[in-house]
Amino acid sequence: MSILVMKFGGTSVATLDRIQRAAKRVAVEVARGHQVIVIVSAMSGKTNELVGWVNETSPLYDAREYDAVVSSGENVTAGLMALRLQEMEVPARSWQGWQVPLKTNSAHSSARIEEIPTDNIMERFAQGMQVAVVAGFQGVSPEGRITTLGRGGSDTTAVAFAAAFGAVRCDIYTDVDGVYTTDPRICEKARKLDRIAFEEMLELASLGAKVLQTRSVELAMRYKVKLRVLSSFEEQSDEAGTLVVGEEDIMESNVVAGVAYSRDEAKMTLISVADRPGIAAAIFGPLAEAGVNVDMIVQNISEEGRTDMTFSCPIDQVARAEKAMQDAKERGEIRFHDTVADKGVSKVSVVGIGMRSHAGVAARMFKALSAEGVNIKVITTSEIKISVLIDRKYMELAVQALHDEFDLDKPAAESV
């Protein structure tokens, strides 16, 4: 029998009624002849509540106990889902991470999956179990302690199980009905995509699209796991949702697949830095050690022998970045005149595998923004992505203008 992995996010299992709805979807797949591995998140809001309890109890908490507490939400959901399936006369059993066992490293609260042995669950399938309901987000360290995979880790759990068990597909059930060309809340012309390439989805996820967790897409791309993103609140069909597949499985696509944005960005500039070999390492090494997620980087010559170094980072990491730079300056590792932070910017990006074979995408993008009076502060490019940093007040206007410029409301065959 074939194995299907189905993952239900927090909103899909937020109440007992929603757990029952999800269980009915699982029962449909069992009736179709699949053995099913269900990965569940904690009920909506529960993980935040548990994290709050930990912080209130112990602000400087032991990460091992943090994992023990926050992983409990998924255990509750797994047990309830298994009970509901049993009530529907579907042979099901819940599994916690240590029971599989899902083996991880020892990096508590941000563990990485190292191995998922299949023997235990496959043995139970052979004995008549039809559904294994696995608590997502959690595993077990080499020391035998519970670990968690970081926020959004249930997506990663699902893809990892699909890879380990050779599943025919991994269905990610969420509160949206697929992957859109951009955020429908910003652009009413946003269109649901039937298919999107792994590379495009990875870029969109890393650039702010919150449909899938970045690590889950990386795993799917590496192990060629076919993903389907669909809503748990709409009628089920074989054509529902969006398939995330290899580039070779997409017959025809738009030059640009989607427009992504990250609202809360900041632009930081180190003014008058010594222009010498190793200066970039001297700047970005301390930033990395401080946990600052640097993205766009631009270097400009300001005067002879000096340079200005500009980079972007999340707005909530500005203070950390400023302190890292000041500490490095006091240690004599770098010299600069001043730091200037602009906290009023956003990042807007166009993404598409079609950009590899089509010239002029950047020119069209810049012309469309210019026509709307949007000034570009920083530009970065890759093979399938162009990102710009602009004033935050123009972000929604920029997203709409680019969506129109690349005809993203039309299927590939109709676009210009």
- Position 260 pLDDT exceeds 50: yes
Contact of 115 with 161, CB cutoff 8 Å: no
Q: Mean pLDDT, the chain, as a whole number?
A: 91
Strand 242-245 with 195-197, pairing: parallel
At 339 the pLDDT is 92
> If you average pLDDT over residues 73-82, what whole number do you get?
98
Per-position DSSP letters for 97-108, written without gaps between them: GGGTT-EE-S-T
Q: Is pTM, for the whole model, over 0.75? A: yes
* Res. 302 pLDDT band, cuts 50 70 90: low
The answer, yes or no, to whether residue 414 has pLDDT greater than 60, is no
Please tell me the predicted confidence (pLDDT) of residue 111: 94
pLDDT in tens, 138-192: 999 999 999 999 888 999 999 999 999 999 999 999 888 888 899 888 998 999 8
The pLDDT value recorded for residue 224 is 92
The annotation places the binding site at 7-10, 47, 74, 174-175, 180, 185, 210-211
Query: Which tens digit of pLDDT belongs to each residue from 365-405?
Result: 999 999 999 999 999 998 899 999 999 999 999 999 999 99
The predicted structure's pLDDT at residue 233: 83
Ordered domains of the chain (ranges, CATH): 3-175 (3.40.1160.10), 248-416 (3.30.2130.10)
pLDDT at 415 over 70: no
Minimum mean pLDDT among 51-55, 237-241, 255-259, 310-314: which range? Answer: 237-241
Binding residue ranges for ATP: 7-10, 174-175, 180, 185, 210-211
Please tell me the predicted confidence (pLDDT) of residue 412: 66
Detail the residues annotated as belonging to a binding site for substrate.
47, 74
pLDDT at 416 over 90: no
Q: Is 71 in a helix, a strand, or coil?
A: coil
Report percent pLDDT > 90 for the chain: 71
- Residue 51 and residue 45: Cα distance in Å, rounded? 10
**Secondary structure percentages of the chain, helix, strand, coil, to 5:** 40, 25, 35
109: how many CB neighbours lie within 10 A of its CB?
Answer: 17
How far apart (Å, rounded) are the C-alpha atoms in residues 393 and 210? 21
